[in-house]
């Protein structure tokens, strides 16, 4: 098929064109130089970074050719190219968190270091796998509650990380769900596979009886939040997958639900106050922490209204005089059960017997994330919610806190990571996720 040379503006507009298997694309080395400059443009940096990522993916896969690659005698005088010129002269491999520099290095046939910042991150890890079984499973294993991890993996023909879930489709209406856990025995971890209960009714005291998980993976999120042995839960997912609602449901249950699920005394909430678009930043906001972060906490409050306010409350509010309005269940719950804490004021704090919900966690730098996680005392828990796929490149670029955690997916008893993929918010949300796919 004929080759198509792609201009910089095409990649800025929609770089996903590179994945069209019906065409053979090539990219000029000059385009790489232009993208490197554009990633410093506040208005275009997200598109430029996305384009660079896609070029790198296709280049490494051997599906893209870079044209007019300069020799070592004709490299430009940009800092990246001068660094790579020195690298070429010494025959060394190249280690960098600058994705465009690694693309140029690849084009120049400079080997990337094995300890590249993202080399040990498994971006395909979801925190859960799904398998189908036959009738023999139902006869022999359906009644078991736990078994050694190695035995479970051998029986099911799977390999699981620590705190990873296995959803077993056995032909029944309710799939079986197992997860691997690490139990500390005499200062050593013993690894087991345990079946999780799907007959929980933790919300009878919290007033949210009518809301239930919509699929098995959402059930896994609730189980992870309920698991007191795992102090860190990361709920990752694109828009409309239910990250915030599930986390709030579980937090409410762990503070005011059925007695056996009440593990914590208080719910703390926070969110990154950083604006996605610097042009929209409105500056300093006076007032309490709740008032300052009001816009960034709207996800919490809107979900709390959906969970706790019955339809009649919403209908009554439309007809009553605002001055005569009674406090709604969600407003009462927010006042009594939730405490807002600003991230930059957490230094020196220790959260005891509490659960901390952090929204938009993908925007946090590694320093901010370290500060948050180091505040959690024994007997407390933190739940990070975010969309790492939709992360705005340029926010804390090269210092994204979630990448630090990603290096430990499925390897640490202290952390459970679950990726949600099914969108339930609306058909429009599904359409938006499709057309704005980054």
pLDDT at 394: 46
Does residue 225 surpass a pLDDT of 90? yes
Same domain membership, residue 307 and residue 329: yes
Does residue 306 surpass a pLDDT of 90? no
CATH of the domain at 329: 3.40.50.300
Q: Has residue 112 been placed in a domain?
A: no
Name 407's bridge partners: none
**pLDDT tens string 336-357:** 889 999 888 888 899 999 999 9
Domain boundary among 137, 162, 196: 196
Same domain membership, residue 422 and residue 396: yes
Q: Has residue 131 been placed in a domain?
A: yes
Same domain membership, residue 213 and residue 74: no
**Higher-pLDDT residue of 152, 397:** 152
Sequence-distant (≥ 6) Cβ neighbours of residue 298 within 8 angstroms: none
Find out whether 208 and 307 touch, Cβ atoms under 8 Å.
Answer: yes
What are the backbone angles phi and psi of residue 286, rounded to the nearest 5°? -75, 170
Same domain membership, residue 230 and residue 186: no
Find out whether 293 and 359 touch, Cβ atoms under 8 Å.
Answer: no
Same domain membership, residue 399 and residue 289: yes
Using CA atoms, how far residue 260 sits from 204, 228, 429, in Å, is 12, 12, 36
pLDDT at 314: 53
Number of structural domains, the chain? 3
Q: Has residue 116 been placed in a domain?
A: no
**pLDDT tens string 49-86:** 888 888 988 888 889 999 988 887 788 888 888 898 89
Same domain membership, residue 174 and residue 319: no
Domain boundary among 173, 196, 219: 196
pLDDT confidence band for 285 (50 / 70 / 90): low
Q: Has residue 329 been placed in a domain?
A: yes
Q: Has residue 115 been placed in a domain?
A: no
Tokens of 408: 């430990």
pLDDT at 116: 47
What are the backbone angles phi and psi of residue 77, rounded to the nearest 5°? -105, 20
Q: Has residue 192 been placed in a domain?
A: yes
Same domain membership, residue 264 and residue 246: yes
Same domain membership, residue 75 and residue 215: no
Same domain membership, residue 357 and residue 277: yes
Same domain membership, residue 375 and residue 325: yes
CATH of the domain at 23: 3.40.50
Domain interval for residue 217: 205-435
Same domain membership, residue 289 and residue 426: yes
Using CA atoms, how far residue 208 sits from 3, 213, 305, 316, 392, in Å, is 58, 12, 11, 20, 34
Q: Rounded to two decimals, what is the model's pTM?
A: 0.76
Same domain membership, residue 273 and residue 150: no
Domain boundary among 157, 179, 196: 196
């Amino acid at each position: 098929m004929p080759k198509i040379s792609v201009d910089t503006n095409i990649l800025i507009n929609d770089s996903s064109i590179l994945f069209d298997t019906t065409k053979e694309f090539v990219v000029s080395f000059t385009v790489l130089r232009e993208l490197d400059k554009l990633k410093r443009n506040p208005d275009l940096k997200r598109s430029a970074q996305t384009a660079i990522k896609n070029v790198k993916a296709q280049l490494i896969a051997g599906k893209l050719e870079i044209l007019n690659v300069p020799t070592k005698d004709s490299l430009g005088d940009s800092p990246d190219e001068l660094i790579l010129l020195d690298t070429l002269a010494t025959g060394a491999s190249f280690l960098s968190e600058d994705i465009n520099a690694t693309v140029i290095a690849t084009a120049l046939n400079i080997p990337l270091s094995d300890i590249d910042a993202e080399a040990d991150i498994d971006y395909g890890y979801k925190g859960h796998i799904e398998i189908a079984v036959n009738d023999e499973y139902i006869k022999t294993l359906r009644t078991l509650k736990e078994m050694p991890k190695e035995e479970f993996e051998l029986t099911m023909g799977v390999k699981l990380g620590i705190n990873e879930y296995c959803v077993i489709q056995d032909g029944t209406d309710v799939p079986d769900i197992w997860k691997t856990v690490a139990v500390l025995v005499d200062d050593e971890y013993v690894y087991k596979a345990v079946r999780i209960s799907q007959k929980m009714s933790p919300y009878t005291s919290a007033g949210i009886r009518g809301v239930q998980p919509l699929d098995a993976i959402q059930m896994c999120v609730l189980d992870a939040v309920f698991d007191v042995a795992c102090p860190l839960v990361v709920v990752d997912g694109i828009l409309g997958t239910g990250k915030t609602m599930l986390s709030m449901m579980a937090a409410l249950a762990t503070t005011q639900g059925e007695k056996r699920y009440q593990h914590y005394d208080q719910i703390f909430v926070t969110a990154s106050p950083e604006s996605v678009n610097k042009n929209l930043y409105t500056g300093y906001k006076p007032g309490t922490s709740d008032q300052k972060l009001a816009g960034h906490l709207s996800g919490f409050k809107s979900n709390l209204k959906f969970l706790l306010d019955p339809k009649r409350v919403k209908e009554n509010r439309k007809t009553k005089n605002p001055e005569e309005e009674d406090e709604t269940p969600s407003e009462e719950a927010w006042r009594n059960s939730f405490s807002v804490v600003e991230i930059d004021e957490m230094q020196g704090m220790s959260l005891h017997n509490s659960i901390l919900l952090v929204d938009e966690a993908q925007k946090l730098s590694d320093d901010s994330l370290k500060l948050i996680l180091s505040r959690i005392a024994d007997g407390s828990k933190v739940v990070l919610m975010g969309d790492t796929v939709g992360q705005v490149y340029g926010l804390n670029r090269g210092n994204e806190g979630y990448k630090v955690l990603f290096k430990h997916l499925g390897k640490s008893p202290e952390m459970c990571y679950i990726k949600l993929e099914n969108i339930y918010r609306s058909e429009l949300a599904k359409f938006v996720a499709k057309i704005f796919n980054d």
